[in-house]
């Protein structure tokens, strides 16, 4: 029986929606504190009200220098950069643009789960992915975990090539839309996939740019489940515009439209199954996995228990094992990857019945 993984996740919405908040106009004689005053957002002001507010500030504010045209321009630009949600940013110069390459990593978990950490979107990592998939096929791997939690490169072409390994031939992956130029560039799979079985995709706030497009392209398929935290919301194509000072204004000039027809900017891709893991812990795990492997961070070793032999010997294995802990790294646990392994294991048991 073939089962859609999307059915597994049942979301229960718990909470309440607050009704309108009424505020009484304070009496002039009451003299309420500033913190007690009801607040009005800038978004609630009409254009005429905004102009009136600025004129009133210029005429009455205690520090006239703060309301000079230059300061208003600075405030306008600062507010715009904040409100554009990462769609525009000022950079010192192009020399600071280079990202440190993140290596590819792969491992077999539990003898039947293929794990790949994509890392940077680079030709070398694409080659490493193909080699890993070939090795997995030889080992009869029946499930995959694709880890995008360390992928934030800016190459949409390489992202598409990697996604093609897991998406059915002929399917659209995503569209890169330039609204100003009225241009759309659609990425589609023109090759047979290498793997189409049960797949878990891991993502979090450091999954950015083309990696978000990959996650969205994989999410629409029946046997794919997204686990972790929402992505960065930077699924855009940037262009750099040099300023006369040498600084650079980086602007989002195109946005990714997912296979469902919705833009990924600025809300990003939401996981089907939310699981939290601090970035500090994740970075430690990724750093140590190159030497120790991932098994220690996913599967718990069986803990020795107090037994008759220990009673006769006058020892307590449960206490001794705690005393023998090597350090803080022993408490590191990849809860996101653990959840992916648990889901795969549960599915395998269910399908056998």
Give CA–CA dist 167/203, Å, rounded: 18
Alpha-helical segments (H) within 7-88: 47-60, 69-83
Evaluate if residue 8 carries a pLDDT over 90: no
Whole-angstrom Cα distance, residue 210 to residue 163? 10
E strands within the chain?
A: 88-91, 105-109, 113-117, 143-147, 172-178, 183-188, 198-203, 224-228, 236-242, 248-257, 273-274
Separation in Å, CA 292 to CA 41, 44, 107, 334, 336 = 52, 55, 11, 14, 18
Q: For residues 337 and 339, give the distance between their C-alpha atoms in angstroms, rounded to a whole number.
A: 5
- Could you give phi then psi for residue 174, rounded to 5 degrees? -165, 170
Residue 7 pLDDT > 60, yes or no? no
Tell me which DSSP letter residue 92 carries. S
What distance in Å separates the CA atoms of residue 264 and residue 2, rounded to the nearest whole number?
A: 30
C-beta of residue 91 within 8 angstroms of C-beta of residue 247: yes
Alpha carbons 349 and 353: distance in angstroms, whole number: 7
User: At a CB cut-off of 8 Å and minimum separation 6, what does 149 contact?
Assistant: 117, 202, 203, 204, 206, 207, 228, 282, 336
Phi/psi of residue 273, nearest 5 degrees = -130, 100
Which residues, in sequence order, are CB contacts of 325 under 8 Å at separation 6+? none
* 143 CB-contact burial (10 Å; exposed 0-12 / middle 13-18 / buried 19+): buried
**pLDDT tens track for 130-184:** 999 999 999 999 999 999 999 988 899 999 999 999 999 999 999 999 988 889 9
The pLDDT of residue 180 is 87
Angle between helices 156-163 and 210-219 (to 10 degrees): 30
Tokens 């046997």 found at: 223
Token pair 């790949």 in the structure block, residue: 116
What is the average pLDDT score of the chain? 85
pLDDT in tens, 56-111: 999 999 998 999 999 999 999 999 999 999 999 999 986 555 678 999 999 999 99
- Reported confidence tier of residue 316, pLDDT bands at 50, 70, 90: low
Is residue 207 scored above 90 in pLDDT? yes
Question: pLDDT per residue over 250-278, tens digit each?
Answer: 999 999 999 999 999 999 999 999 999 99
Domains recognised in the chain with CATH numbers: 105-274 (3.90.226.10), 279-352 (no CATH)
> What 3-state class would DSSP assign to 278?
coil
Confidence band for 16, pLDDT divided at 50, 70 and 90: very low
Q: Which two tokens stand for residue 278?
A: 């601090």
């Amino acid at each position: 029986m073939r089962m859609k993984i999307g059915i597994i996740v049942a979301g229960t919405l718990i909470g309440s929606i607050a009704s309108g908040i009424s505020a009484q106009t304070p009496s002039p004689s009451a003299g309420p504190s500033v913190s007690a005053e009801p607040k009005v957002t800038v978004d609630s002001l009409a254009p005429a009200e905004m102009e009136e507010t600025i004129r009133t500030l210029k005429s009455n504010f205690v520090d006239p220098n703060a309301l000079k045209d230059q300061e208003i321009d600075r405030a306008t630009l600062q507010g715009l950069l904040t409100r554009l949600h990462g769609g525009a940013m000022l950079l010192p110069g192009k020399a600071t643009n280079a990202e440190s390459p993140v290596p590819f990593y792969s491992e077999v978990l539990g003898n039947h789960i293929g794990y790949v950490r994509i890392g940077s979107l680079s030709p070398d990592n694409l080659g490493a992915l193909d080699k890993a998939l070939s090795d997995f096929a030889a080992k009869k791997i029946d499930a995959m975990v694709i880890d995008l939690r360390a992928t934030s490169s800016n190459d949409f072409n390489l992202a598409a090539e990697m996604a093609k390994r897991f998406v059915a031939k002929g399917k659209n992956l995503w569209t890169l839309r330039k609204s100003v130029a009225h241009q759309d560039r659609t990425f589609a799979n023109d090759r047979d996939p290498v793997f189409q079985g049960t797949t878990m995709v891991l993502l979090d706030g450091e999954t950015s740019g083309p990696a978000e497009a990959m996650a969205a392209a994989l999410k629409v398929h029946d046997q794919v489940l997204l686990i972790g935290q929402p992505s960065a919301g930077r699924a855009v194509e940037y262009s750099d515009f040099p300023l006369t000072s040498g600084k650079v204004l980086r602007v989002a000039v195109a946005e990714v439209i997912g296979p469902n027809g919705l833009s990924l900017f600025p809300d990003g891709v939401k996981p089907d199954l939310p699981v939290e893991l601090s970035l500090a812990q994740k970075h430690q795990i990724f750093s140590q996995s190159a030497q120790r492997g991932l098994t220690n961070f996913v599967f718990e070793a069986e803990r020795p228990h107090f037994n008759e032999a220990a009673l006769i010997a006058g020892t307590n294995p449960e206490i001794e094992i705690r005393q023998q802990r090597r350090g803080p790294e022993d408490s590191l646990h990849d809860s996101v990857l653990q959840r992916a392994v648990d889901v795969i294991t549960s599915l395998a048991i269910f399908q056998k019945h």
